[in-house]
Amino acid sequence: MKKIFLFFAAVCALVACDPVEEDISNGGHITVDELKAKTTVTVDKADNGQNGNVITCSTSAPVNAKWEIGGKEFVSNFAKKKMKLGEYTVVLTAVCADGTELTAEYPVKCDVITDPLTKYMIWEGEFTVGGWDAAPLRFSDSEGQNFPTLSDDIYFGLKTLVVDVKDASDGCQARIQNGWWSTVYAEGISLTPGMKWEIQLTEQIAKECAKGNGGEGRDLNLLITNGSATFTSVYYEE
């Protein structure tokens, strides 16, 4: 009987140490300083000591963590992402056991490419489109004229599309919407010659435009609202 009791006590001790169930100090929440003390955000290093382009984030704090890195969100206590060169602010949103929400920001800079991004081409060619002509810029095999239907992996992977703008008239402006004209995701976007137009796919876009996995099949649709522009490729990089 004594052995059984000791075994039961040991099991209870293990359960009590589970960080998901543990009652953190202050009634189930921690402070921002405590969160930061248990969190690291690092950038890899090149041979010459400069910052590379891979950001790694982790936290051992007993929280539900969500990272925002360069427009992408990762719901996990660990996140890693290859970036283009530039300056970024990594945002950690943490939800404590009692529902308290904390936010911590980490500015980082990527100076040199240590892990090259891979380009995934979606479309390549050349065409010019004028104002309020939606079909040429609709991502649809059946209702578009140039761009293919985007896969669910692209939509729900929340990829950042890069659209190469070869040329654009003075004052050219564009909009991001869906093919049903039911939602405008962004508008008043100025297009210029040689521009790489970055379009961040969001959860809302995925749910409304994807054709599978619960998507409403409305198709992502770009639209020139003033002037004209010439496009040569659409891709994403990771």
Q: What confidence score (pLDDT) does residue 28 get?
A: 76
pTM assigned to the model: 0.78
- Comparing C-alpha atoms, which of 183, 175, 174 is closest to residue 218? 183
Give the tens place of pLDDT for each residue, 103-119: 999 999 999 999 999 99
Structural tokens at position 57: 């984030």
pLDDT lower than 70: segments of the chain: 1-27
Please write down the HEC assignment for all residues of 198-233. Answer: EEECCHHHHHHHCCCCCCCCCCEEEEEEECEEEEEE
Q: pLDDT at position 71, please?
A: 84
Per-residue DSSP letters for 83-105? --SEEEEEEEEEE-TTS-EEEEE
Q: What angle do CA 100, 102, 105 make, to 5 degrees?
A: 175
Q: What is the pLDDT of residue 72?
A: 87
